Amino acid sequence: MTYRSTVDFLLYDWLAVEQLAQRQRFSDHSRETFASVLDTCERIARDKFEPFNRLADTEEPHFDGEKVILPQASYDAAKAYVESGMLAAAQDYDIGGMQLPCVVEMAANTFFSKASIGLGGGAMLTSGNANLLMAHGTERQKEVFAKNEFAGRFFGTMCLSEPQAGSSLSDILTRATPDGDDFESDPLGPRYRLRGNKMWISNGEHELTENIVHLVLAKIPGPDGNLIPGTKGISLFIVPKKLVDVDGKLTGERNDVALAGLNHKLGYRGIPNTLLNFGEGKYPARGKAGAIGYLVGKPGDGLKCMFHMMNEARIGVGLGAVMLGYAGYEASLEYAKGRPQGRPINPTGKDPKQPQIPIIQHADVKRMLLAQKSYCEGALALELYCSRLVDELHTGDADKRAEAGLLLEMLTPIAKSWPSEWCLEANSLAIQIHGGYGYTRDYPVEQYWRDNRLNMIHEGTHGIQGLDLLGRKVVMDGGKGLALLAAKVNATIERAVQTPEWAEAANALAGALKHLGNATKAAWATGVPEEALANAVPYLQAFGHTVLAWIWLDVALCAQASKADENLRQGTLAAARYFFRYELPRVPAWLKVVETRDDTCRTMDESWF
């Protein structure tokens, strides 16, 4: 059974993406055109990405004092990806796009992440950057910056964190001051000079493209010259590495953005991770220090605009975590089939005269493989479901758009955090199956684990996602989003209880859903946020497992009735059974500390450590 067969089953059997071709935006498409895109991406990933995955890890970027040096494979992979048209795959025809459904675009991009996430990760940032500008930029900003990103002339970044602030964006110190008396009349947008530092900026410096478009969060000082405290003072700016004219042509002048250093990471090494200095005067722009930036949206709306890219990136990070887990699963499955060790246990014990058997015949190895399969294929289904919601958000009728938007609000913290934790666990199990070979560089599974470990931090840690989910998402609009999600889960449960094979699982899911609702109310029973949110991460884990159980139940019902390949059907059903029998029972333990508002962690005195 191949990864492609799993993708096809989820797209066509479960999500019925062929039906999208009935909508005007996608009317030129069919299963044949979708398959052609998937075929192309699978081929490019196999030829230009996968052979160089280890190279991207061992020959990590370095700085020669003038520019970042990358291996030739990075240039070849970037060129092949740009030429595939995937940067603009979901965009309108008139700007070079394919008007491809988001769900198909995301499925096609999984081949690159699985082949070498260290070579392909920059594309997600570029498309996200351009999509933000298409939503919040002026017409000229779209023409000059977004469309050149979609065309692959420019690549993009997101510059949020600072060395002293980390995830606490309200504490950023980068400031933006008006650039001259005519600053508001610049055709590229109100023009400012930025000064400050940004840390952990992926793809922040390279020579892969003509230019780099930095989207930078900064604060505009108030009338007293001081920065406005909190997030309300944050604005968003386009800061190109090289200055351009009103038609997007390079002027030949460098902007005042300088590489201060490269971060040498545990994994994900193929992408330069940078510390950038804005406005220090190393490259005086138009005769003076200060990086030139153009305001996006209104002053003070920076975080609101940036969330457009951040939420898209969170789903992208989750999908990347899935594919790293899947790559490890495939590697450990292949190893388990070919590695002889141990002998069958007979009623009289083991017979040393008998030949060894492949380790895949041992029940515990099957357990570890099933766990990986349930984590990775379940998470893949979740990410594709969220991508399908994006298509409803943009092309459905008014009711479907509203529903899709609310479901995406609820599911985004799970789509980011759950694969980042459990597909990392899949990578750990892949190492375990390899035994002593697993943590050597003779096999790829140790690299997959290192690459994936970053995803629990990328785009918001578990703690941040838990606070977002329990502190905001489940209580917004009087719990409207939680009620909608519960209705979706209950609809699947009602179908499943009519199916003898899945009635028991349906009842187990119903119990978990009820427990989740009760724990949510109990957490907020006192109305004290400090008490409610002290155990936000266990809540996030319980919520995520409940969502994944729902996804697996829905997928299992589809597989049960499907005429797909029998091995695929039986494998899917077995992974679903595993999740219900081994994973869903974890939920009550996580919810126990939530519903009792357990204070063990909250009241721990720092002097006791």
Question: Measured between alpha carbons, how far is residue 77 from residues 50, 119, 271, 481, 530 in Å?
Answer: 10, 7, 12, 41, 48
Q: Is 459 a catalytic residue?
A: yes
For residues 421 and 462, is the Cβ–Cβ distance under 8 A? yes
User: Which amino acid, 129?
Assistant: N
CB of 111 closer than 8 Å to CB of 42:
yes
DSSP for residue 601: T
| Pair 520, 542: CB distance under 8 Å | no
Cα(368)–Cα(105) distance, rounded to whole angstroms?
A: 31
Report d(CA 200, CA 248) in Å as an integer. 27
Q: What would the DSSP string read from start to end of 59-98?
A: S--EE-SSSEE--HHHHHHHHHHHHHTGGGTTS-GGGT--
C-alpha radius of gyration, the chain, whole number: 25
Residues 14 and 325: their CA atoms lie apart, in Å, by 22
Catalytic entry in 42, 105, 421, 459: 459
Query: What is the DSSP code (8-state) at residue 12?
Result: I
DSSP H or E run through 235: strand 234-240
**Sign of the dihedral defined by the CA atoms of residues 27, 29, 30, 34, in that order:** negative
- Judge whether 306 and 132 are in contact, CB under 8 Å: yes
The residue type at 90: A
Q: Show the 3-state SS of 243-293.
A: EECCCCCEEEEECCEEEEEECCCCCCCCCCEEEEEECCCCCCECCECCEEE
**Residue 532: Cβ-neighbour burial (10 angstroms; 0-12, 13-18, 19+):** buried
- Decide: residue 266, CB within 10 A, 0-12 exposed, 13-18 middle, 19+ buried: exposed
Taking alpha carbons only, the member of 284, 191, 204, 280 closest to residue 235 is 191
Catalytic residue numbers read: 459
